[in-house]
Structure 1
Amino acid sequence: MILGILLCDDVREPLQTDHGNYPEMFTQLFEQVDTRVQLRFYRVIDGQYPESLDECDGYLIGGSRFSVYDNTRWIVTLTAFVQRLSQQHIPLVGICFGHQMLAWALGGDVTRSDKGWGIGVHQATFNAHEALQHSWLPEALDKYALVVSHQDQVLTLPPHATILAGSPFCPNAMMLVGDYCLGIQGHPEFTTHYSQDLITLRRALYPEKTANNALNSLLAHTHHLDIAQVIISFIKSRLLRVQD
């Protein structure tokens, strides 16, 4: 399986020595789950896109410090590309900014949350009824924990979307839009060590209590490998559907 990663930002330069950039993060994540998955990277933030949609079996939109409602050229172009992938029924996964981009591009609403920053390790609970409908979701988990880093949230779902998981802080933490688009607010590619360094670097942005709680939360176990497997299984299940 070839997975195209649409890069929408860079890791902050002071952190790249210890943690690498996003290509290294995604490579390390998926190598731990399935070494047969091949990754191709496209810097959509710089206008780089696949020459043909069938270069990859599916695509993943990564995170970004920007907002999907920023009226910049590369975000407008990415919005149109997401719509094109959806229309062509090509499997597409969105992570954090990418999750919000799926909602934004396909008719939902994204806004700055009045709940403030979500940072550190957050937990979300699967919608039990919906989870039973999808074999690519893990049967053994009723909840999952991931590193998060966001102010924006999906406020209103796009048409034909269902909530797969949520929490009081982030009700729309995982969603399925139609049959071919999966959005996940958390960051399976982030390690807790990276989150600690990122929070420390950007500490002036956060209320003191929020930062302290987030740093304390990083002692918790995360389900990043389980969610990476969800991503792989989701894309493979969509490919089988196309073949049938």
Structure 2
Amino acid sequence: MSLRICILETDHIRPELVEQFTGYGAMFKELFKRQPVAAEFEVFNVVEGHYPPEDAAYDAYLVTGSKADSFGNDPWIETLKAFLLDRYKRGDKLLGVCFGHQLLALLLGGRAQRAEQGWGLGNHSYQLHAKAPWMTAHEGDLTLLISHQDQVTELPEGATVVASSEFCPYAAYQINDQVLCFQGHPEFVHDYSRALLDLRQQHLGEDVRQAALASLARDHDGATVAEWMMRFVATPRS
């Protein structure tokens, strides 16, 4: 039996990239097709005010990345926060990536803000701190593609750090068996990261851009994280 996952898409990608990459919801669907846990996905763009029907039932809700600040007060963000808090109180499982990772931390009592470290870009490696039943075997550090200038700076009460680095101390966390979040982007592919770096060249500076581009020579563990997410969802709540 397949898991049913609701993807809450929190952005529109740059117009010049739509033809090749479609959007974050589509990227996640493509990513999850490559992991072994059977799952079906529906995408709702919450920036446009689209949400699942009241009577729809899902095994988990996934909040994507966004160019918006998780600590912003845009009306659509406030609506999303109210929706997610309701789902959390109902006991639903919640997954977050980048913006979603930060928003859920904020919503549940933590803190997120503009990072003093500056932009996180390219390929980044994290030390794993936990070995949970939903985690398949993984040797060495966890490597993910990243693109963020905000970070979680304080975890919600009861949260456990799953992965960290000196640059990003709270790179992944879980709250019991209900919430699992990653700062990195498992759904990104190298070509999309390169395209973002090219489009942001003026804001980043050439030295920063070149260092990030060089890091893309390494592979990343997006497929591993995708499987972990689905196994986390599939694990019965205690």
TM-score range, shorter chain: over 0.9
Which residue does the alignment assign to 2:97?
95
Which residue does the alignment assign to 1:213?
211
Question: What SS does the aligned partner of 1:67 have?
Answer: coil
Which residue does the alignment assign to 2:27?
25
1:151 alignment partner AA: Q
Q: Within 5 A, what are the aligned runs for 1:40-51?
A: 40-51=42-53
Q: Once the 2 structures are TM-superposed, how far is the Cα of residue 179 of structure 1 from its aligned partner?
A: 2.5
Which residue does the alignment assign to 2:176?
178
Question: What SS does the aligned partner of 1:55 have?
Answer: coil
Unmatched 5+ residue regions in structure 2? none
Which residue does the alignment assign to 2:14?
12
**Can you list the C-alpha shifts for 1:69-109, whole angstroms capped at 9, x where unaligned?**
11111101111122112111111100000000110110111
Which residue does the alignment assign to 1:138?
136
Q: Once the 2 structures are TM-superposed, how far is the Cα of residue 207 of structure 1 from its aligned partner?
A: 3.1
Percent identity of the aligned residues? Answer: 35
Asked whether the 8 Å contact 2:177–2:232 carries over to 1, the reply is no
Q: Once the 2 structures are TM-superposed, how far is the Cα of residue 55 of structure 1 from its aligned partner?
A: 2.3
1:60 alignment partner AA: L
Unmatched 5+ residue regions in structure 1? none
Counting matched residue pairs gives: 236
Which residue does the alignment assign to 1:60?
62
1:104 alignment partner AA: L
Q: Once the 2 structures are TM-superposed, how far is the Cα of residue 15 of structure 1 from its aligned partner?
A: 1.0
Asked whether the 8 Å contact 1:99–1:183 carries over to 2, the reply is yes
1:231 alignment partner AA: M
Q: Once the 2 structures are TM-superposed, how far is the Cα of residue 4 of structure 1 from its aligned partner?
A: 0.5
Which residue does the alignment assign to 1:85?
87
Question: What SS does the aligned partner of 2:62 have?
Answer: strand
More helix by share: 1
Asked whether the 8 Å contact 1:64–1:97 carries over to 2, the reply is yes
2:110 alignment partner AA: G
Question: What SS does the aligned partner of 1:168 have?
Answer: coil
- TM-score using structure 2 length: 0.95
Asked whether the 8 Å contact 1:117–1:210 carries over to 2, the reply is no
Residues 138 and 53 of structure 1, relative CA distance in 2, 3 Å threshold:
farther
Q: 2:169 aligned with 1:167, yes or no?
A: no
CA distance in 2, matches of 1:218, 1:142: 18
Question: What SS does the aligned partner of 2:153 have?
Answer: strand
Structure 1's consecutive aligned runs of 4 or more residues displaced over 6 angstroms after TM superposition are none
Residues 164 and 38 of structure 1, relative CA distance in 2, 3 Å threshold:
same
1:241 alignment partner AA: R
